[in-house]
Amino acid sequence: MGTDLRSVVETVGSLSTSDHKSVVSITLFVTLLCACIVIGHLLEESRWINESITALIIGLGTGVVILLLSGGKNTHLFVFSEDLFFIYLLPPIIFNAGFQVKKKQFFRNFATIMMFGAIGTLVSFTIISLGAIAIFDEMDLGLEIGDYLAIGAIFAATDSVCTLQVLCQDETPLLYSLVFGEGVVNDATSVVLFNAIQDFDLTRINSTIALQLIGNFIYLFISSTVLGVFLGLLSAYIIKKLYFGRHSTDREVAIMMLMAYLSYMSAELFYLSGILTVFFCGIVMSHYTWHNVTQNSRVTTKHTFATMSFVAETFIFLYVGIDTLDIEKWRVVSDSPRTSVEVSAILLGLILVGRAAFVFPLSFLSNFNKSPREKIDFKQQITIWWAGLMRGAVSMALAYNQFTRAGHTQLRGNAIMITSTITVVLFSTVVCGLITKPLVRFLMPSSKELNRSLSSEPVTPKSFSVPLLASQDSDSELFNGTGQASGANGDQVPAVHPIGLRMLLTTPTRTVHYYWRKFDDAFMRPVFGGRGFVPYVPGSPTEQSLHQWPAEEVKD
């Protein structure tokens, strides 16, 4: 403990050096972030470009400028620090994902999401790893078995931000929650996989080690989730009991942020998966804690979390863009450009295959015994497949973790893997990203129109879409199937709506959901707060702004 803390604090001390140089770099990054936001806003209406691509291109441009200013000599300019990423940038993104997720949709499709996110990622991982072993071993890159498994984990990590920016949560709730949920579970799974691989001596694989690996994986999954739920509930309990808002809104906001971050860091402290922990902490906080604070704190936390996530995401793409122009790693591979291109192409191919190998079979499985309304149709399957083709910051971070030591890429094999990762990330983000908007709009034509009208007129989407959907469904399907539309007051419905025999017979998840609701109302909410146990405010974090808008507008 003592020695730990000692160096620990030296680390904190080294968070910044007394140089003027850190000032230059921070100023540069903040300026570029502002530029990304402004330009991203101006390109909002664009048919092709999205925020990530904007940030990547600005980053690339900056990299070129720096390269030119340094006369092409200055190698190793920007180092992608995977710890900067995992300690500061990833937590707000994942927490916000949990905080803003539509819980009802998420848990209704929980089985499918877990299937895609966990099993799918494992399938993808296996195919990419096996493919890498089969093909790269021929090419004599000097990689070991651990490297191949790491490659599988690295390229199993998807980045579905691009697609989510185009999909409309209110229009295609099932699809949205599948893509979104899969993205989060996939992040967690691939990071957990990656860590599980690093912890084991993989030179001698046998069935015991394989079983241990699986056991380790399951242990990480469950204990991380439990820790996140526990800390979320703790924050709800503390805020409900102490009622900070009586004295200060700022204390409430501060404790919510700090507890959220604490959940991530404490998971890392116990060598668990911070991503899973902070995600479930976010869900619990939005279900209980968020309802226990004052109105102003609700607005503040909701938007602050979203803003931090947004800035972190932009920062990552900017960083990746600038880092791409680091000469050193390109110089190592410059004597064998063909190999590098080949490796990138093979990886892209493996990604395509690895993803197709689970999306279509698992969709088929998932469609089994479902009502036509809940089935994933072929166009949606293609969208899901496409949504997971992009590779992003998680892949970059894992690749740097595996293939660099202190930012340097001396070994030829390592250098090739780093440059290939960059190529895959750039290619998939820019090229696939550019095609995403047109493709999704081609596959779901109505999505775009409604999406547009909603985002430009955020005043009455709820009141507009609820009756619309209600009229086209039967009574019980309104309750079960259109939760996304009645989500705002859906939590109150079960109390007045009798549970039908038909419902019990359909799928078990619904029954679980029903009993959970009863348990929640009877035991959890009285202790931890939540909607209905504090002064009533319509809307959850996700719906809040929609509900609030009209009232605010009128008030003004």
What six digits make up the tokens of 374? 């809940």
The only residue of 456, 496, 501, 522 in contact with a copy of itself, by rule CB under 8 A:
456
Q: Which two tokens stand for residue 278?
A: 């902070």
481 token code pair = 């199937």
Closest distance to a copy of itself from the beta carbon of 150 (Å)? 15
What is the footprint of a copy of itself within residues 372-411 (CB under 8 A)? 401, 407
* Residues 484 and 170: beta-carbon distance below 8 Å: yes
**13 lies in the site for a copy of itself, by CB under 8 A:** yes
Q: How large is the greatest C-alpha to C-alpha distance in the chain, in angstroms?
A: 75
- How many other CB atoms sit within 10 Å of the CB of residue 360? 16
Q: Is 24 in the site for a copy of itself (CB under 8 A)?
A: yes
Applying CB under 8 A, does 325 fall inside the site for a copy of itself? no
Which of 60, 168, 262, 424 is the binder for a copy of itself (CB under 8 A)? 262
Beta bridge partners of 405: 408
List the one residue from 149, 259, 332, 348 that touches a copy of itself (CB under 8 A): 259
Under the criterion CB under 8 A, does residue 64 sit at the interface with a copy of itself?
no
Beta carbon nearer to a copy of itself, 88 or 219 = 88
What residues from 67 to 96 belong to the interface with a copy of itself (CB under 8 A)? 69-71, 73-74, 76-84, 87-88
* Residue 141 amino acid letter: L
Question: 87 by DSSP, 3-state: which?
Answer: helix
* Total residues belonging to the chain: 556
CB of 292 to a copy of itself, least distance (A): 14
Using rule CB under 8 A, residue 297 touches a copy of itself = yes
Q: Count of CB atoms within 10 A of residue 476's CB?
A: 14
Closest CB 535 distance from a copy of itself, rounded Å? 5
First-to-last alpha carbon distance for the chain, in angstroms, is: 56
Q: Helix-strand-coil percent breakdown of the chain, rounded to 5? A: 80, 0, 20
**The only residue of 410, 455, 460, 472 in contact with a copy of itself, by rule CB under 8 A:** 455
User: Which among 283, 242, 243 is positioned nearest to 260, based on CA atoms?
Assistant: 283
Q: Which one of residues 140, 204, 207, 246 is an interface residue with a copy of itself (CB under 8 A)?
A: 246
Write out the binding residues for a copy of itself, residues 25-44 only, by CB under 8 A. 25-31, 33-34, 37-38, 40-42, 44
- Of 148, 261, 290, 403, the one binding a copy of itself by CB under 8 A: 261
Residue 489 Cβ, how far from a copy of itself at the closest point, in Å? 14
CA nearest to 92, candidates 257, 282, 242, 308: 308
Region of 8-16, 125-133, 377-385, 497-505 interacting with a copy of itself (CB under 8 A): 8-16
Kindly report the number of other CB atoms within 10 A of residue 352's CB atom. Answer: 13
66 is a contact residue toward a copy of itself (CB under 8 A): yes
State which of positions 126-185 bind a copy of itself (CB under 8 A).
Answer: none
Q: Residue from 130, 133, 139, 311 that binds a copy of itself (CB under 8 A)?
A: 311
Stretch that binds a copy of itself, among 7-15, 379-387, 431-439, 517-525 (CB under 8 A): 7-15
Question: Nearest 5°: CA angle at 17, between 11 and 19?
Answer: 170
In SS3 terms, 304-355 reads as: HHHHHHHHHHHHHHHHHHHHHCCHHHHHHHCCCHHHHHHHHHHHHHHHHHHH
